[in-house]
Amino acid sequence: MHKNLIAGRWLDGTGVRENLSPSDTNDLVGLYAQASADDTQSAIAAAEHAQPLWAAKPPQQRADALDFIGAEILLRREELGTLLAREEGKTLPEAIAEVVRAGQIFKFFAGEALRIPGEHLDSVRPGIEVDVLRQPVGVIGIIAPWNFPIAIPAWKIAPALAYGNAVVFKPADLVPGSAWALSEIIHRAGLPDGTFNLVMGRGSVVGQTLVESPRVKALSFTGSSDTGRRILHSAGARFAKLQLEMGGKNPLVVLNDADLEQAIECAVQGAYFSTGQRCTASSRFIVEKGIYRRFSEGVQARLQALQVGHALHADTQIGPVAEQGQYEQNLAYVDIGLSEGAVLACGGRPLQRDTQGYYMSPALFVDAEAQMRIAQEEIFGPIACAIPADDYEHALQLANASPYGLSAGICTTSLKYAAHFKRHMHSGMVMINTPTAGVDYHVPFGGTKGSSYGSREQGRYAAEFFTTVKTVYTHA
Ligand code: NAP
């Protein structure tokens, strides 16, 4: 049984979770302890005790610990990638790439631990000098979703530790395996006991306890907008520092002058790989009328040739949906699209494979309208809809007509339209002739509108959330 890590000790919880593979629900990945609210409180207390000890360590020690973690993750990429693919269902190459990214993130923040920024200025008053210091926030609660079981925890835990904070980490209940393996590595990195704690279990128990505890000074959350809103109301009311990364309904605009093959590739890669379970996945193709038919037919042909299957099989291009609830929701959205009058060009059906898993064919709706639910609501599956647009201005207007603003793409050979889109698209990330999903780890990540709340994640911008600024005036 895989236990929780609290105050440097591996402890049983009050229940056990069976971690089952979505590729084969008869494949038991492992048994994982479920923490109670009391266990979570113990982890918070341990973190509160350890945080000043960790913050007092020389930066070199923090850098070395993060470097150790990153190096081991990279060394074990195949093994950790296999575990990830098995428990979440993304294909083995996708899972190994995610593990590599997690390792690179720890390496990046190992360097950042040595470069914690500060400023020194002369005061406007004679004889006084001003220092602007960045200091740790304290205990950070980290709440992660299931779709990136190691990379998202990595991009929250690594900066939290680099800047001298202590962590209580709650992974998604669905995928505790990768989180446990990561935590086991962190446990051996030489941190004072209690600096990093793992509490596995349900959001309504473990997550809620983190959200409500006044000793948790900041919460970094990634997940659905509904949960994010609940956290904002609860933790915001006690003035906790919040970083909420939430949903998306990301558009890919395709103009008449686009390179057709490139546009089809961007669409298929961006919308359907990782089974469409990426917050940055394209789910609305907004296509100028002159290229609309050729684009839709091209995407359809590519989808029909994709191999859907077991995450660990070598020829699989699209793995199963990660869990039963999401699977049923995807199929329900296919029915919603049909009832709204969109045309299902292909896919959207359950598939039988040799093993009992959540398999479905990737779906493309054509002739969808912007106000349809399938064009407005986040589905989070391998389903996208194509919406015709009169011209570039119309396409931009449709692209911006969403409560979300995470990632947005445009396929065009026109510098004029690309430059305009870059400035006028209301999203945190803009992709030009490249898929909406797929980002670098050393630059800021996040969105606008209902997609994100608080400061950006990743890269040097992470310092904004994981430190607090102190201004010091010294009369020499
Ligand atoms: P979710 O249901 O909101 O869950 C996210 C996390 O919050 C899980 O660990 C969950 O615990 C926990 N949680 C649930 N209720 C809670 C509560 N009352 N208090 C505190 N924590 C609570 O989201 P999901 O289904 O795992 O992930 C899919 C969503 O994540 C999609 O909307 C996707 O767009 C979004 N996402 C966004 C980004 C981004 O960077 N913008 C990246 C990836 C995913 P349980 O494990 O018990 O459910």
In three-state form (DSSP H/G/I as H, E/B as E, the rest C), the secondary structure along 7-60 is CCEEECCCEEEEEEECCEEEEEEEEEEECCHHHHHHHHHHHHHHHHHHHCCCHH
CB of 449 within 6 A of ligand 1: the answer is: no
Active-site hit among 88, 94, 112, 245: 245
Distance 254 CA to ligand 1 centre (A): 31
Pair 69, 106: CB distance under 8 Å: yes
Evaluate whether 4-246+451-475 and 250-432 have a shared fold.
no
Bridging pattern class, strands 15-21 and 24-34 = antiparallel
Q: Using alpha carbons, select from 284, 292, 329, 295 the residue that is nearest to residue 427.
A: 284
The helix/strand/coil state of 143 is strand
Q: Which residue has the tokens 């056990």?
A: 16
Pair 409, 436: CB distance under 8 Å: yes
**Residue 443: how many CB atoms within 10 A of its CB?**
12
Pair 273, 402: CB distance under 8 Å: no
Distance 224 CA to ligand 1 centre (A): 5
Give pLDDT, residue 222. 98
Instruction: Show Cβ contacts of residue 429 under 8 Å, excluding neighbours closer than 6 positions.
Output: 280, 406, 407, 408, 436, 439, 445, 446, 447
Pocket test for ligand 1, best of 222, 232, 280, 380 (most atoms within 8 A of CB): 222
Concerning whether 279 is annotated as a catalytic residue, the answer is: yes
Pair 252, 267: CB distance under 8 Å: yes
Structure tokens at 105: 């993130």
Pair 401, 370: CB distance under 8 Å: yes
Residue 450 CB-density burial (10 A; 0-12 exposed, 13-18 middle, 19+ buried):
buried
Q: Name residues of the chain where pLDDT drops below 50.
A: none
Give pLDDT, residue 429. 98
Pair 110, 162: CB distance under 8 Å: yes
Give pLDDT, residue 286. 98
pLDDT tens for residues 329-378? Answer: 999 999 999 999 999 999 999 999 999 999 999 999 999 999 999 999 99
Bridging pattern class, strands 9-11 and 4-6 = antiparallel
CA 169 and chain centroid, separation: 15
Quote the CA–CA distance of 270 and 411 in Å, as a whole number: 12
Q: Using alpha carbons, select from 387, 305, 376, 377 the residue that is nearest to residue 346.
A: 305
Distance 217 CA to ligand 1 centre (A): 20
The residue extents of the domains of the chain are: 4-246+451-475, 250-432
> Rounded to the nearest 5°, which phi and psi values hold at 54?
-70, -45
pLDDT tens for residues 92-131? Answer: 999 999 999 999 999 999 999 999 999 999 999 999 999 9
Active-site hit among 279, 346, 385, 411: 279
Q: Which atom of ligand 1 is nearest to the CA of 234?
A: 19
Give pLDDT, residue 103. 98
Concerning whether 411 is annotated as a catalytic residue, the answer is: no
The helix/strand/coil state of 401 is coil
**Residue 419: how many CB atoms within 10 A of its CB?**
11
Q: Which residue has the tokens 């106000």?
A: 371
Name the H helices within 274-382.
Answer: 289-305, 324-340, 373-376
Q: Which atom of ligand 1 is nearest to the CA of 457?
A: 40
Give nearest CA residue, ligand 1 atom 28.
223
Distance 129 CA to ligand 1 centre (A): 45
CATH of domain 4-246+451-475: 3.40.605.10
Pocket test for ligand 1, best of 227, 229, 278, 321 (most atoms within 8 A of CB): 227
Relative orientation angle of helices 151-162 and 59-75, to the nearest 10 degrees:
160
Quote the CA–CA distance of 409 and 436 in Å, as a whole number: 5
CB of 329 within 6 A of ligand 1: the answer is: no
Pair 436, 408: CB distance under 8 Å: yes
Distance 322 CA to ligand 1 centre (A): 14
Quote the CA–CA distance of 9 and 410 in Å, as a whole number: 50
CB of 247 within 6 A of ligand 1: the answer is: yes
Distance 125 CA to ligand 1 centre (A): 49
What is the CA angle 430-435-440, rounded to 5?
A: 70
CB of 13 within 6 A of ligand 1: the answer is: no
The helix/strand/coil state of 90 is coil
Domain 250-432: which CATH number of 3.40.640.10, 3.30.470.20, 3.40.718.10, 3.40.309.10: 3.40.309.10
Give pLDDT, residue 476. 80
Pair 270, 251: CB distance under 8 Å: no
